[in-house]
Amino acid sequence: MCIKLKAECMLTCNLLSLLSCHMLFCLGNNMLILFTCLKYYLFFFSPKNYDGLVVRSATKVTAEVISAGSNLKIIGRAGTGVDNVDVEADVFIIFMNYSFNTPSGNTISAAELTCALLMSLSRHIPQAVISMKDGKWDRKKFMGAELYGKVLGIVGLGRIGKEVATRMQSFGMKTIGYDPITPPEVSASWGVEQMSLEELWPQCDYITVHTPLMPSTTGLLNDTSFAKCKKGVKVVNCARGGIIDEAALLRALESGQCGGAGLDVFVEEPPKDRALVNHPNVISCPHLGASTKEAQARCGKEIALQIVDMATGKALVGAVNAQVLVSSFSPDSHQWILLGESMGRVLKACTASKEPFSQVHVTSLGESLKKSTGFLSSAAVVGLLTEGPQKGPNLVNALPLAAETGITVQTDHKDNECEACVLEVSVNSRSYKAVGSVQAGVPVLLELNGSVFRQPVPLTGHLLFFKAANSTELLLSVTGVLAAAGVELQSYSASTAGSGEQWYCMGISSLLGDIGALKSLVKEAAQLTV
């Protein structure tokens, strides 16, 4: 993706400072980005016209939406998590997610809402407000409890969990927690004692969850968990719907095992089942964790700057599904990616055996390609696995697909004065090799299976490769077959060797309808479009 951008165009427009609106921006003259957090916006504006898409949590970017975006190169999720984006979609699009550092992004806003719900649960504030608006004066009905001296269990001690802990400690709460990643000595430095969940449940007066939604955290608070808690424990979820089992929570509320719940998120949003929302001991909000002007401005600015960094060749930070590209994605790398894929397609076409490859070895040559073996190997595998002109694997899923099909991929780098890529493949104990480079911005083939071309072969358009013994009649005979088929010869590259069977390449106006017409003239022949 060779895109020239002016980073200042993002800054001067206060990019995404208000993601509550949908906006279109043209970055320079090349890249059009669609910014939206409106849930149904994509039904009215087709993503096929845009190179990039930035969303918040409400917009669901499904596989269908991604497939419709024929020009999409990047999808950014301004906020924490990418559960509203189908990151497993079988297309080459980089998915970016901004992971905020305190006090940036959503962190402070989500932490403050959590604290507000904890306080509201302890003093029944929303219920008392409703009662007052109904003209009542029920002082005894809304007897609350102090937070001072109570135990707060924090499940998930990341950025938000930390901010909640430090704020609630100021109320005199004892904070304990659980996190399988954050070291206990780190959380201890900000006043949280870590322990196992089995130890945590019985000690808590209040529990708040701050984990991503994944198989290990789905239904973390369930019937079994509630049974281990103090009777009357109060719980808060400002993280993701589903971490607390909603059916189990309702049962715990009805039995009194749970004394109250503050819910900002639900499994289904908006929830059609209103049992929890309507329960008198539940305080519910319509997913307001990041709904502050400050959080919206931070999220929009940071994801916009990330896109500018990516498009201008800087470090690709926050990539969810394209780690192979993180340290090496730049406009200059685009031609090398095309080279790797084209070399893979050439070797696939020119191998005598149609059996699957068993090994792939990619070697980068030259100091500037030292960090490029990752995307070069992925690109080569894309070429090797692509069948014909139809859409095949991509840089993101190529290596996993190779592993699934039993192909071993090895990479290497060697210092060399020349910049080049060497691709070697093995099939049925036979080896095939191609060497290529980028010259004047064009991917070229330098060598094929030991045949070094006098003139580098530009890897573009329709190409006819054939292997034959050198003779004065060879060129005339092959061009005669082309002429008979109405195919024009556009370029010709011969090997440097003067004797023996060598590989030759012709650039042609269109592919031959029947390549079998060359069988009597050459030992092997293959054609492809790159």
Residues marked as catalytic: 240, 269, 287
| Two structure tokens written together for 245 | 């089992």
Gap between the Cα atoms of 104 and 100, Å rounded:
6
Which residues contact residue 426 at a Cβ distance below 8 angstroms, ignoring those fewer than 6 apart? 357, 358, 359, 360, 432
Q: Distance of CA 169 to CAs 147, 153, 174, 235, 261, Å? A: 10, 12, 7, 17, 20
Closest CA to 104 of 54, 159, 155, 154: 159
| Two structure tokens written together for 74 | 């990047």
Distance of CA 110 to the CA centre of its chain: 24
Gap between the Cα atoms of 25 and 21, Å rounded:
13
Enclosing H/E stretch for 216: none
Gap between the Cα atoms of 312 and 306, Å rounded:
10
Closest CA to 310 of 118, 506, 75: 75
Residue 407 · residue 358 · CB < 8 Å: yes
